[in-house]
Structure 1
Amino acid sequence: MKLQLYVMKTVATRIIGAALILMSILQILDLLDVTTDILDRGLGVAGVFFYAGLRLPRLFEQVAPIAVLAGGLFAFSQLARESAVVAMRASGVSGYRIIGMAIPAVLGVMLLDALCGQVLAPRADPALADWWKNTTPVAERKEVRPRTFRVGADLIMATTASADGRQINAITIFRRNDKGILIEKVESPVARYDGRAWVLDQPKTTRFTGDLAQTSTAASNTWSTALRPNDVQGLLGDDTAPTAASAQRALQDGGSDRPESFYATHLQAAFAGPFVSLVMLLLSAPVALANFRSGQGAILLTGGLAAGLLFLVANGMMTALGESGALSPFLAVWAAPAIFGALAVRTFLALEG
């Protein structure tokens, strides 16, 4: 038990250290761009910390795989240099078991990565965007342009939405029949979600029948749709990656402004994303069996770092192909982790003998 805790602690501390360093670098670079604007708006140091805090979930999501790679390489190279791996193998501990001792540390990173990507960041991003918009000086505010998206067979055009997605401003609904012909247009200054359905305030409805157009108004009207506040946050908020829930809803006519392949790819990526960290651990694992006196350690250390960076590039390229529909979403998301994971295991097996 003490041996397992020692290995896990060694790997975990290196991963945490790498993550903190990488997040600090990204945070500093980000703050260099916005600190002056925050101070000019009179928000003070508290505004800087508020901005930095809301950015943390996205930053961790970005650095988690690289942190595992760097932490694994540092930890395993240290164990190999100190001959700790030789001592463990001499006492009957296999290389597979040594890597298994480090997996709990990576599982913690995977869980935190999934928590940030699927829970924390989707809540922090709209709050940050709303805060930034509300604190922008009136003279510097840009004209808001309407955005369009699709909900089932209906086409929707709207300008802005509240931070919680429960109110849509200046909404226009274009309803079509099964042949795609426009049959009705509904205009409303505000659409509010009351917890069960959307209520349109002072809607103006125009029905098209052949060459005729009939217009009617009402004090309020209920809009029957599968659209939900979470969908509105993604559609009318900043351009962020959809979560598994929002991607699933978009595929089920819950509101979309991109091709079906885009949401199908991100639905797969939501499940595959945390496993990228596990692949990074496997890519760093061969360093534990390296002989640093013969120069093999330097080669494996460099090779592991290069393989990890190449994996990130390949994974990103294939994901982009999946989003555009040029590649199957499942293949686009899972192919790179499977290939690089298999290569890492093959290299480890060859060194283990």
Structure 2
Amino acid sequence: MRLQLYVLRTVATHILGAALILMSILQVLDLLDVSSDILDRGLGMAGVAYYAAMRLPRLFEQVAPIAVLAGGLFAFSGLARESAIVAMRASGISGYRIVGMAIPAAVAVMLLDALCGQYLAPRADPALADWWKNTTPVAERKVPAPRTFRAGADLVIGANASASGREIYSVTIFRRDPKGILMEKVEAPTARYANGKWTLDQPKTTRFNGDLAQTSTAASTSWPSGLRPRDVQSLFGDDAAPTAASAQRALQNGASDRPESFYATHLQAAFAGPFVSLVMLLLSAPVALANFRSGQGAILLTGGLAAGLIFLVANGMLTALGESGSLSPILAVWAAPAIFGALAVRTFLALEG
């Protein structure tokens, strides 16, 4: 039990250290771009701290795989150099079990990565964007461009939306028949979400029947739609990756402004993304069995780092192909982790055997 805790603590400490260093570097680079603007707006160091805190979930998403790779490489190479691995194997502990002792550290990173990507970041991003917009000097504020998207069978144009996603301003809704012919256009200054449904304020409805157009108005009317406030935040916010829930709603006639392949790919990526950290740990594992006296350790250390970086590039390229519809979403998302994971296991088996 003590041995397992020792290996786990060693690997976890190195992963944590790598994550903190990488996040610090990215945070500093990010703050170099915005700190002057924050201070010019009179927000002081409190504003800088708030910006940095709200950016943490996205930064952790970016560094998690590299942190596991770097932490695993340094931890396993350190154990190998100290002959700790030799001593453990001499006592009858296999290399598989040694790597198994470190897996809980990668699982913890996987869970935290999923928490940031699916829960924390989707909530922090809209809050940060709203804070940034509200603190922008009036003279520097720009009118946002209208957004066009699909909500079920409706085509919608919205000028802007509230930070909570519960209000859409200057809404125009186009409704078509199954053949794609325009049947109705609804214009409203505001669409509000309350009690699980949307309501259009003072809508002006124009119905088309052949060459005839009939117009009517009302104080308010309901808008049946699968659109959710979080979908609105995503549509009117920056180009952030959709969560599994929003991607699934988009595929089920929810809100979308991109091709179906984009959401299908990100739905798969929401589940496959955290497993990237596990693949990174497997890519670093062969270093534990390396013989550093013969120079094999340096080769495996360099090879593990190179394999991890190539894996990230290949995974990104395949994901982009999946988003564009050039590749099956399942293949685009799972191919790279499966291939590189298998290569890592094959290398480890060869060294262990």
TM range (shorter): over 0.9
Task: Output the CA distance in 2 between the equivalents of 1:189 and 1:236.
Answer: 17
Q: Which amino acid aligns with 2:236?
A: L
Q: Tell me how far 1:195 sits from its aligned partner.
A: 2.0
Match of 2:125 in 1: 125
Q: Secondary structure at the match of 1:321?
A: helix
Structure 1 window deviating more from structure 2 (277-286 vs 228-237): it is 228-237
Task: Output the CA distance in 1 between the equivalents of 2:173 and 2:242.
Answer: 23
Q: Tell me how far 1:205 sits from its aligned partner.
A: 0.7
| Unpaired stretches in structure 1, ≥5 consecutive residues | none
Match of 2:4 in 1: 4
Aligned residues: 353
What pairs up with 1:87-102 in 2 under 5 angstroms? 87-102=87-102
1:134 aligns with 2:131: no
Q: Secondary structure at the match of 2:9?
A: helix
Match of 1:181 in 2: 181
Task: Output the CA distance in 2 between the equivalents of 1:294 and 1:196.
Answer: 67
Task: Output the CA distance in 1 between the equivalents of 2:196 and 2:300.
Answer: 58
- 4+ long deviations beyond 2 Å: none
Structure 1 window deviating more from structure 2 (219-228 vs 67-76): it is 219-228
CA-to-aligned-CA distance 1:114-152 (integer Å, 9 cap, x gap): 000000000000000111111111111112211100112
Q: Tell me how far 1:7 sits from its aligned partner.
A: 0.1
Task: Output the CA distance in 2 between the equivalents of 1:166 and 1:195.
Answer: 11
Task: Output the CA distance in 1 between the equivalents of 2:158 and 2:147.
Answer: 5
CA-to-aligned-CA distance 1:62-98 (integer Å, 9 cap, x gap): 0000000000000000000000000000000000000
1:51 aligns with 2:69: no
1:346 aligns with 2:318: no
CA-to-aligned-CA distance 1:184-218 (integer Å, 9 cap, x gap): 11111111101221011111111111111111111
Task: Output the CA distance in 2 between the equivalents of 1:349 and 1:31.
Answer: 44
Match of 1:146 in 2: 146
What pairs up with 1:242-261 in 2 under 5 angstroms? 242-261=242-261
What pairs up with 1:176-215 in 2 under 5 angstroms? 176-215=176-215
CA-to-aligned-CA distance 1:228-269 (integer Å, 9 cap, x gap): 111111111111000000000000011100000000000000
Structure 1 window deviating more from structure 2 (140-149 vs 14-23): it is 140-149
Match of 1:219 in 2: 219
Using structure 2 for the length normalisation, give the TM-score. 0.99
Structure 1 window deviating more from structure 2 (145-154 vs 302-311): it is 145-154
Structure 1 window deviating more from structure 2 (162-171 vs 276-285): it is 162-171
Structure 1 window deviating more from structure 2 (161-170 vs 319-328): it is 161-170
Match of 1:21 in 2: 21
Q: Which amino acid aligns with 1:151?
A: A
Structure 1 window deviating more from structure 2 (71-80 vs 223-232): it is 223-232
Task: Output the CA distance in 2 between the equivalents of 1:28 and 1:195.
Answer: 42
Q: Secondary structure at the match of 1:341?
A: helix
Cα-Cα RMSD: 0.6
1:272 aligns with 2:272: yes
Match of 1:324 in 2: 324
Q: Which amino acid aligns with 2:71?
A: G
Q: Secondary structure at the match of 2:256?
A: coil
Match of 2:106 in 1: 106
Structure 1 window deviating more from structure 2 (195-204 vs 4-13): it is 195-204
Task: Output the CA distance in 1 between the equivalents of 2:114 and 2:334.
Answer: 16
Q: Which amino acid aligns with 2:277?
A: S
Match of 2:69 in 1: 69
| Unpaired stretches in structure 2, ≥5 consecutive residues | none
Q: Secondary structure at the match of 1:240?
A: coil
Task: Output the CA distance in 2 between the equivalents of 1:296 and 1:195.
Answer: 64
Using structure 1 for the length normalisation, give the TM-score. 0.99
1:239 aligns with 2:248: no
Task: Output the CA distance in 2 between the equivalents of 1:322 and 1:311.
Answer: 16
CA-to-aligned-CA distance 1:37-57 (integer Å, 9 cap, x gap): 001111111000000000000
